[in-house]
Amino acid sequence: MADIMTATYYVTEAPVDEGRHFVHSANCQVLPESGLDDLGEFPDCTPAMEAARAKYDPVNACALCCGACYEGSDAFEDMVSDDG
């Protein structure tokens, strides 16, 4: 039987951008060093977002490490994915 790969996810305890709490994976390049609530291990960002929303409101995902769950402008997504 194949092992399911999981990652540890965190949410910022204090609201940051526009009063939102942000979900990050443990290997995120911009993961804050403190002020994080450990959400646990999940196979992807979707259940991590559900866990964060059960404790905090409003919640968004980090565009860098949880892009599939990030709710934001296309301009920002274009900026982070820009090759040049």
For 3-59, the pLDDT digits (tens) are 679 999 999 999 988 899 999 999 999 999 999 999 999 999 999 999 999 999 999
Residue 82: pLDDT band with limits 50, 70, 90: very low
The pTM of the full predicted model, rounded to 2 decimals, is 0.82
> Residue 65 sits in which domain range?
7-81
Q: How far apart are alpha carbons 75 and 58 in whole angstroms?
A: 21
C-beta of residue 11 within 8 angstroms of C-beta of residue 53: no
Is 30 part of any domain?
yes
**Could you tell me which residue, 60 or 1, shows the higher pLDDT?**
60
Helices (DSSP H) in the chain: which residue ranges?
Answer: 45-53, 74-81
pLDDT of residue 32: 96
**Could you tell me which residue, 83 or 39, shows the higher pLDDT?**
39
pLDDT of residue 3: 67
Is 1 part of any domain?
no
Cis ω for the linkage preceding 15 (within 30 of 0): no
Q: How far apart are alpha carbons 49 and 42 in whole angstroms?
A: 10
Neighbouring-strand partners of residue 21:
59
Is 15 part of any domain?
yes
Is 2 part of any domain?
no
